[in-house]
Every structure is written in structure tokens, then in C-alpha cells.
Structure 1
Amino acid sequence: MSAIRFKKIIGKWQNDDSWFEYFEDKTYSSGRAYIEMVKGFKYQIDEQKKELNMYTDIQNQIFYLQYEFRGNDTLLLNNLLNTNQHFVTYYRVKNQEPNKTNR
């Protein structure tokens, strides 16, 4: 696999507390442990500015995030509305079973 493919956000990312899974159709799911708490919400990504907007089911609630990659398997996310940068680290989930939902 090429390094360019790894630099895309598509896939599942997790840390000790939570996980996000981003799909090609610009939707995402998220949860904690094996519990899926959010499914099929839209996201918008600006690869030039390194910004990620994640929409929710609450009207006018959008998470405005800054992202960056560290290597091929680490994703750092920071809330753009914070006055101080505080990146949260997520790791790419490898060798997962394919998601069986219709995406």
C-alpha cells in the first residue's frame, strides 16, 4: 500500500476512551469500546487547511477540528474553538473485519 493512502482519514481510529470510523461517502460513526453511539453522521474535510468538521444530530452543533497525521497510523485531533491547542491522539485500527453495514 502506498504512503499516500495511509494519509487519508478513511478508516477506524481509536484511543483508550473512544473511536471514530470515517467512510468514503463522507459519513462517520463513533462510540466507546464495542458500543456504537453515533452512526451515519456527515463530515466535511479540508485537506489543504487540515480541518475536519463533524456534524451531529443536534441542530447547529458542529465539531470544528484541526487534524494532523503523525506517521502512517496516528491521527491527532484538536478542537479549533479551544484557545490553546490540545491534540487528542487516535491510532489506526488495523486488520479489522469489514464493516457489514451498507456504506
Structure 2
Amino acid sequence: MSEPTILHATFTARPGEGDRVAALLRDFAEAVRTEPGNVVFDATRVLDAPDSFFVYEEYVDEDAFRAHLANPAGGPFNAALQELIVEPSSVLTFLRRL
């Protein structure tokens, strides 16, 4: 049995763009949750830093994660997000369940 692919992404909205990032992320999360192989896509906003976002993702395996990356919705989401955040892109951290 293959390992799940687990990661988290962090990014920070540019000043004044937090609500736009939240709306964009909310819509994208709904789409990702319907993808075959997605287990969790939990998009959150940091309480004491509302321009900071934390997304926890889990896919059944590497193939499901690669399918997620190839999903046509990802390109427009990432292009729009890139214009609204401080970082050049989301900062991804891959995890392994113990």
C-alpha cells in the first residue's frame, strides 16, 4: 500500500488583500474537495494574523496529488493567488505520518 501525500501550504496576503485571498481560497477548496483522491483540504486563516493563511492537504497517494496538480482549476487559482500574496508562491512543507 502506498503512502498518502500530506502537506501544508502557508502564504501571506498583501496588505488589504486578505478578504480577497480568503474568498479565492474558499472557492478553490470547494473544488479540490471534490477531486478523486483528496482526503482533506482544510483552508484556514490565522486568528492573530488575519493576512496569514494555512492550508492542510492530504491525498490518498502520490498519483492523487499529481492529479490534483494537473487539475485545470489549479492554474487560474495559483495565478490569481500569486498577485495577492507577499511570497512569490505558497510555501509548501511535505509531511509524513508517524
- Please give the TM-score of this superposition, normalised by the length of structure 1: 0.28
Structure with the larger helix share: 2
- Please give the TM-score of this superposition, normalised by the length of structure 2: 0.29
Structure with the larger strand share: 1
